[in-house]
Every structure is written in C-alpha cells, then in structure tokens.
Amino acid sequence: KAGVTQTPRYLIKTRGQQVTLSCSPISGHRSVSWYQQTPGQGLQFLFEYFSETQRNKGNFPGRFSGRQFSNSRSEMNVSTLELGDSALYLCASSLLGQRNEKLFFGSGTQLSVL
Amino acid sequence: TQLLEQSPQFLSIQEGENLTVYCNSSSVFSSLQWYRQEPGEGPVLLVTVVTGGEVKKLKRLTFQFGDARKDSSLHITAAQPGDTGLYLCAGAHGGATNKLIFGTGTLLAVQP
C-alpha cells in the first residue's frame, strides 16, 4: 500500500510569490491534515479536510489556504510569501480524522523563501 | 504559545545507556501520542496513551501517561544507534477531531 505522497519535495521561492503544495493520502483515507514544522516553533497545525470540507483550522493567517478534491487529494496554497514561511510542510492522512486515529505523515515539502 | 514542553531538548548518549524524555503541560489532554522523526522524513507514530496512569511498552521503549493526563514520559532501555531521531509528543484535547498539539521535541543521538 503506497504511503502519503507529497510533491514537490523541495521548493525555492522569493518573497511575494505564491506556492501550491500537493498531498496524496493513503488510498481509502478521507481525512488530510497539514502541519508546518520550523526549528523555532516546531510542528503546528494548519488545517484539516474531510470529504472536501475544511473541518478544523489552526492559528495561521488567511494567506494559508487549502482544499480537498473528491479523490481526497489535497492542496495547500500560500500567497504573498514571507521569509518566515520557510519551513517543512507536512501532510498527514487518516481514515476518518477521528481522535486517536493513527496519522500517517508524508515526507514533507521543504519550502525556502528567499 | 507552546503548550507541550519536552525535556531535554538534546541528548547524546552511548549505545547501551538508558534515557528518559519528558513531556509536560499545564493543560489536560484526552490522549497523548509519541512520534519519532528521522531526517528528511515525516513523524512516525510510536504509541497512543489515553488513560491517566497508563503504561505501554514497545520492546525497549516504555511510555507513561501521567495520572492527571498533563504529562508523559518515554523511557528507552539499552539505547541503540537505530533509536537516533527526533522524538515528539503530541496531545489531543477533547472532541472528535484528530488535531494534535505537538511538543517542542527531543533530539536524540545514540553513538555506537
């Protein structure tokens, strides 16, 4: 069974640009969550999607958005990039997104903003 | 605001030594998970503890959830180089969602 796939693995952008990251969950998983990981702040929850609906949102500005498609694949978008957006963006999938369900993480997309 | 503090932040030990990593919070969590993350990879779930006072063992790893469900510990016996990685605790509050609050992390290096 294929794991969670995130593309691309690495991205370099400049301030002011926008970026779209992609996540393909494990087959059959309907919940996709996104996390940002930085050395200073650690792992922080961005948002969670289930059946194409955003079900939960973390404390990030509106420049961070996401969506989920009918096949459960998800994308997240960051507009007007800032230097502080440089981070590892991790996607995690689970069957139904219920508490205590096992989360399966992808390898992440490393975003560098110059 | 970081709700889950882990200690120590860094730990470098020799193969065969024992170690304990702590995860503390002022908040009560309905459950707590421990993950290990290796360079270039996402975190991998090790265990979930849900009951105050619960102890779970996974080979040489022992996990404990505090009685008040505000803290947890991970003890590794006879550490091996393969245990090297970033250890993260993550707490879930009440409710149906799987949103997690991650700890600050403990970077463990086991020297052969």
pLDDT of residue A2: 80
Mean pLDDT by 10 residues, chain B (112 residues): 85 98 94 95 95 96 96 98 97 81 96 96
Residues in chain B closer than 8 A to A104 (CB atoms): 45
Closest Cα in chain A, distance from residue B86 (Å): 11
What integer pLDDT is reported at residue B2 of this predicted model? 54
Give the gap in angstroms from C-alpha B108 to the nearest C-alpha of chain A.
15
* Alpha-carbon A55 to chain mean position: 14
CA distances from B77 to A58, B14, B28, B38, B74 (A): 36, 12, 28, 20, 10
**Is B101's CB within 8 Å of A100's CB?**
no
Name every chain A residue with its beta carbon within 8 A of the beta carbon of B100. Answer: 43, 45, 103
pLDDT for the residue numbered A1: 66
Q: Residue B63: beta bridge partners?
A: B56, B74
Q: What are phi and psi of A19, to 5 degrees?
A: -145, 145
Q: How many CB pairs (< 8 A) connect A and B?
A: 66
Residue with tokens 């997309």: A109
Q: What angle do CA B95, B96, B101 make, to 5 degrees?
A: 70
Question: A66 forms bridges with which residues in the sheet?
Answer: A76
The pLDDT, as a whole number, for residue A97 is 87
Q: Which three-class secondary structure state does DSSP give residue A111?
A: strand
Q: Is A26 part of the contact surface with chain B (CB cutoff 8 Å)?
A: no
Q: Is B101 on the interface with A (CB under 8 A)?
A: yes
What pLDDT digit, counting tens, does each position of A79-103 carry?
999 999 999 999 999 998 888 889 9
CB-based contact A100 B41, cutoff 8 Å? no
Q: Identify the pLDDT of residue B93.
A: 82
Q: How far is residue A24's CA from residue A81's CA, in Å, rounded to a whole number? A: 23
Q: Which of B2, B98, B104 sits opposite A103 (nearest CB)?
A: B98
Interface residue B91 vs chain A (CB under 8 A) = no
pLDDT at residue B98, as a whole number = 82
The closest CB to that of B98, out of A58, A90, A97, belongs to A97
- Is A35 in contact with B92 (Cβ distance < 8 A)? no
| pLDDT at residue A3, as a whole number | 94
Q: Do B43 and A45 lie within an 8 Å CB cutoff?
A: no
pLDDT in tens, chain A (114 residues): 689 999 999 999 999 999 999 999 999 999 999 999 999 899 999 999 999 999 999 999 999 999 999 999 999 999 999 999 999 999 999 998 888 889 999 999 999 999
3-state secondary structure of B110: strand
